């Protein structure tokens, strides 16, 4: 009976260890900086299903931000890197305004995006600027 309990515990531990994991800098969707702004959206970041997503305040839409190269996510805080400016910190659930432009997944053709696309199937959005939501 003990052996069966240990075996079940090992099987469960093995299943749990292959589930959703915290993002690492390699998992964060980044791309060279894009300065074009066609949309300004107010909302907050959320980490769901292994994806760092932006949820608009109205709750109707979610986007997958594509951050400028040099941006880093540590699990609770994003350090937004805009070339020529000081990095800005954004905390999960903090309300802020995100400016940039929506893009099709086909634009993100590099192999590094395949895993992110498979896991985060919402509309990507190149982020150009962030600021407080006031």
Q: How much is the pLDDT for 8?
A: 43
Residue 85 within any structural domain of the chain = yes
Residue 45 within any structural domain of the chain = yes
Residue 108 within any structural domain of the chain = yes
- Count of domains in the chain? 1
Residue 6 within any structural domain of the chain = no
Q: How far apart are CA 60 and CA 47, in angstroms?
A: 17
Residue 1 within any structural domain of the chain = no
> Residue 4: pLDDT above 90?
no
pTM, rounded to two decimals: 0.78
Q: How much is the pLDDT for 3?
A: 54
DSSP code of residue 68: E
Q: How much is the pLDDT for 17?
A: 44
Residue 7 within any structural domain of the chain = no
pLDDT tens for 102-133 read 999 888 888 878 888 888 889 999 999 999 98
pLDDT tens for 30-60 read 999 999 999 999 999 998 888 899 999 988 8
Q: How far apart are CA 60 and CA 104, in angstroms?
A: 19
What are the C-alpha distances in Å from 81 to residues 66, 90, 102?
Answer: 12, 11, 19
Residue 33 within any structural domain of the chain = yes
Q: Identify the CATH number of the domain in which residue 102 sits.
A: 2.40.50
Question: Which residue segment(s) compose the domain that 94 sits in?
Answer: 20-132
> Residue 26: pLDDT above 60?
no
Residue 2 within any structural domain of the chain = no
């Amino acid at each position: 009976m003990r052996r069966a309990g240990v075996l079940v515990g090992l099987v469960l531990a093995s299943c749990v260890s292959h589930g959703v994991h915290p993002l690492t800098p390699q998992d964060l969707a980044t791309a060279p900086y894009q300065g074009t702004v066609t949309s300004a959206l107010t909302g907050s970041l959320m980490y769901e299903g292994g994806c760092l997503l932006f949820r608009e305040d109205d709750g109707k839409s979610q986007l997958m931000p594509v951050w400028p190269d040099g941006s880093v996510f540590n699990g609770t805080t994003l350090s937004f890197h805009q070339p020529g400016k000081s990095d800005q910190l954004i905390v999960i659930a903090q309300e802020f305004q995100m400016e940039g432009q929506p893009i099709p997944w086909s634009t993100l053709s590099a192999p590094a995006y395949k895993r992110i696309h498979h896991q985060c199937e919402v509309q990507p959005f190149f982020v150009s600027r962030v600021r407080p939501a006031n």
